[in-house]
Amino acid sequence: MTDPTTPPSTSLPPCPTCGRPAVAAFRPFCSKRCADVDLGRWFSEQYRVPVRDEDTQIFEENDPRRVDPDDEVG
Ligand SMILES: [Zn+2]
């Protein structure tokens, strides 16, 4: 049984940080370092989570502190 397409000895997906074969102990990464790199990206907000416009609009419309300066002029 010889299959040249069979990966060396791992069925884990490649490391998302560097693309090397992942290690079970650090999966989905290949090493602690790559895991830290990915975590650092999150902290530096390179992975921006999209904000829902719905929530923002509702919050603005219900904001009691919202004052229209033109109202006092008259
Ligand atoms: Zn890696």
The C-alpha torsion from 33 through 18 and 15 to 31, rounded to 10°, is: -20
Mean pLDDT of 35-56: 74
What residue ranges do the domains of the chain occupy? 12-49
What is the whole-number distance in angstroms between the Cα of residue 64 and the centre of ligand 1? 49
pLDDT tens-digit map of 11-24? 789 999 999 999 99
Kindly indicate the confidence band of residue 58, based on its pLDDT and cuts at 50, 70 and 90.
Answer: low
pLDDT score for 44: 82
User: pTM for this one?
Assistant: 0.45
CA of 13 to the centre of ligand 1 (A): 11
Cα 4 to ligand 1 centroid, rounded to whole Å? 24
Q: Report the Cα 30 to chain-centroid distance in Å.
A: 18
Where does the pLDDT of residue 29 fall: very low under 50, low under 70, confident under 90, or very high at 90 and above?
Answer: very high
CATH architecture assigned to 12-49: 2-Layer Sandwich (3.30)
